[in-house]
Amino acid sequence: MAVLQALPEQAVIDGFKGCIDYYLWKGKPCVRSWPSSPGKNRSPAVKEQWSAFTTASRLWNDLSPDVQRAYNSMAQHGGLSGRDLAMRAYLKGLFTYPTGP
């Protein structure tokens, strides 16, 4: 990442699409190499979680439209989709409660 004095013109940004990523970080113009996916080269811990995500994704499709609407309604103002909220509920619980003293 490099901090810039100012973002270049849109034509310059468009010309480097897929190679260089221009963005704002805390209001400062920055540039970095274009993010790339590691593909299937993931850590064993990440690979172990794939089956849980697959199951959660399939379960969303099995929910009734009424339950899907309820998840969509709950997620409406929280920054997640209803599907994301249902997956979160499956993977780690919908709500977390304090366990400390």
Longest Cα–Cα distance in the chain: 57
Is 38 inside any structural domain?
no
What is the tens place of the pLDDT at every residue in 20-51? 999 999 999 999 998 887 777 888 888 888 89
The reported pLDDT for the residue numbered 64 is: 96
| 28 and 53 inside one domain | no
Q: Would you say residue 75 lies in a domain?
A: yes
Q: Would you say 11 and 18 are in contact if contact means Cβ atoms under 8 Å apart?
A: no
78 assigned to some structural domain: yes
Residues 50 and 84 in one domain: yes
Residue 91 φ/ψ, nearest 5 degrees: -80, -40
Residue 69 and residue 49 in one domain: yes
In a shared domain, residues 59 and 22: no
According to DSSP, residue 18 is labeled T
Residue 87's CB: how many other CB atoms inside 10 A? 20
- Number of domains forming the structure of the chain: 2
Query: Which domain does 25 fall in, by range?
Result: 2-33
Q: Do 49 and 88 reside in the same domain of the chain? A: yes
Both 87 and 59 in one domain: the answer is yes
Mean pLDDT over 62-74 rounds to 95
